[in-house]
Amino acid sequence: MLLYSKWEKMLVLLVIITALSMDLLDMTIVNVAIPKLMAVFTVDINRAQWVATAYMMSVGIIIPITAYLADTFGMKRIFIASMVFFAVGSLLCGLAWSLDSLIVFRIIQGMGGGMIMPLAIAVIYKIFSEEERGLAMGIMGLPLLVAPAVGPVLGGYLVEHTDWRLIFLINIPVGIVAIMLAYMVLKEFEKYRVALDLPGFIFSAAGLAGLLLALSNGPVDGWKTPYVVYLLITALFLLVLFILWEFSVRQPLLDLRLFSIPVFCCSVLLSVFSIMAIMGSLFLLPVFLQNLRGYGPFQTGLLMVPEAVAAAVMLPVSGVLVNRINPAFLAVPGMVMITYITYCLSKINLHTGDTALAGLLAFLGAAMGLGLMPAMTAGLNAVPERLTGQGSSLLNIVRQVGSSFSIAILSSVLQKSQDVFYIRVAEGINVTSQVAVDFLPQAACLLEESGLAGVNAWEGAVMFLYLQAKIEALMLAFHETFGIAAFFGFLGIFPALAFIFLRTARKFGEKNSKILHF
């Protein structure tokens, strides 16, 4: 472990928070800008969505090789290179002259962005002692939980009131500051001479890229679409080859034997289920507010700010507590709260007040801050120090896949449920039903007062009745989909409970190193 003064450690944390904020904010900002890009480049949603998909694929390709690059060329050098790639990619995206050029530049940006998170975690584990690590990880987690709330606010404002190019160009000054600070503050870490596991890299890169692409496009194009089915089969085949290959070579790209460490395995499972549950609020709720409430991106983002503030307050608190109590006493209440509040979100409707919704989100943010980082800290503490980079990369790969898988499942369920519920609701409101008898005359009178003729007013009332049926069906679909997100949270309670019976100290990580012959 390199020796850093207290002030140097604070500056390192500042570098990490700046780099992560730049990366994570950009991911959420771009999602808000998709409709604007469709209008600017005159393309449909399928083509415009590649701006987000290309970035995700690039991240999937680069994360598996991140640990090798850091070990071989130096963690400081690669960390700075990741920010340079991201900043240069952002500049090129801001100067893009067509959608195709923007997609290419997003790939460059993703090469940098994909390395930032695993390297940031590895840097913290190299610099901070075990006693300091919990608080450092809590502070580092602020961008992870705050960015999804702040991103839509910032992105919505930039897209609605300025030029869309600013969503990329805003990264340039932030990136320059982060690169300069990293160059001045970070010391180079120990390097390890290992051979590149080229087959492992090819299998993992192609498999992860194909899987993320299929998960991204499946809900839009349909899971039975030939190319989606082909992508899923090919990706799963390549990932199975990757697993088999990694267990057969002496110097694997990612040592999957880390999953034989119980604490690390539970930490990964908890991270996956928690991020899948959290997508209920981060993905579903903005869709609900914009599609059913008619809120804009900016207003939606403002409503989600309490979630970010509560998470920001709780993260450092849980970071301090993790060194004093068993992680289970933080993770279990956190996951229970996440599950319960996500279930409560399955009961909201068009009449739910913004204050009540903001209160639920504040409790959810507190639960996220309470349960996530302590478990992650304990899991990486159990990894031999030599393999911290690999453990961080594995954790981020699984987190990325879990996030994409959750969005894919929730999107598909929302679409399918809406169709099913619409048929069910529409069957109960035919023109002879009591609902129609009560509703249609009043609606027709209102339309006649607005200037429509008798027949046209009646037809308009019928159309309005079925529009209400669609709204009701969509509301029921949201309820069911939030219930699935809550079920993901329920599954996360079990690995959280397992921490009660597991040893989580760094000395256990050293024992793992001897047993596994790392």
Q: Which residues contact 355 (CB under 8 A, 6 or more apart)?
A: none
What CA–CA distances, in Å, run from 446 to 1, 452, 462?
Answer: 75, 9, 13
| Closest alpha carbon to 33 in 143, 158, 169 | 158
Only one residue has tokens 């409560």, namely 344
**Range in 76-85, 276-285, 420-429, 494-503 with the lowest mean pLDDT:** 420-429
Burial label for 515, CB within 10 Å (0-12, 13-18, 19+), is exposed
Count of Cβ atoms closer than 10 Å to residue 357 Cβ: 20
Q: Which residues of 221-258 are buried (b: 16+ CB within 10 A; e: fewer)?
A: eeeeeeebeebbeebeebbebbbebbeeeeebbbbebb
Question: DSSP label at 191?
Answer: P
CA distance 122 to 231: 32
Instruction: Tell me what pLDDT residue 243 has.
Output: 93
**Overall average pLDDT of the 157-174 stretch:** 84
Instruction: Tell me what pLDDT residue 108 has.
Output: 92
| Closest alpha carbon to 146 in 308, 283, 358 | 308
Q: How confident is the model at residue 491 (pLDDT cuts 50, 70, 90)?
A: very high
Residue 455 backbone class (left: φ over 0; alpha: ψ -120 to 50; beta: rest): alpha
Question: DSSP label at 431?
Answer: T
| Lookup: tokens for 235 | 């990706």
| Closest alpha carbon to 23 in 132, 111, 139, 135 | 111
Whether residue 326 contacts residue 504, with contact meaning beta carbons closer than 8 Å, is answered with yes
Residue 86 has pLDDT above 90, yes or no: yes
Please write the tens of the pLDDT for every residue from 44-69: 766 777 887 788 788 888 888 888 89
Instruction: Tell me what pLDDT residue 189 has.
Output: 79
Please write the tens of the pLDDT for every residue from 221-275: 788 889 889 999 999 999 999 999 999 888 888 888 899 899 899 989 998 898 8
Instruction: Tell me what pLDDT residue 229 has.
Output: 92
Which stretch, 9-13, 81-85, 124-128, 215-219, has highest mean pLDDT? 81-85
**Overall average pLDDT of the 71-91 stretch:** 92
pTM assigned to the model: 0.81
Instruction: Tell me what pLDDT residue 517 has.
Output: 47
Residue 81 has pLDDT above 90, yes or no: yes
Instruction: Please work out, in degrees rounded to the nearest 5, the angle formed at the alpha carbon of residue 311 by the alpha carbons of 504 and 498.
Output: 25
Instruction: Tell me what pLDDT residue 442 has.
Output: 56
Domain locations in the chain as residue ranges: 1-194, 197-252, 259-413+484-518, 420-472
Residue 443 has pLDDT above 80, yes or no: no
Domain 259-413+484-518, CATH number (from 3.10.350.10, 2.60.200.20, 1.20.1250.20, 3.30.365.10): 1.20.1250.20
Fold of 1-194: Growth Hormone; Chain: A; (1.20.1250)
Instruction: Tell me what pLDDT residue 487 has.
Output: 94
CA distance 188 to 53: 34
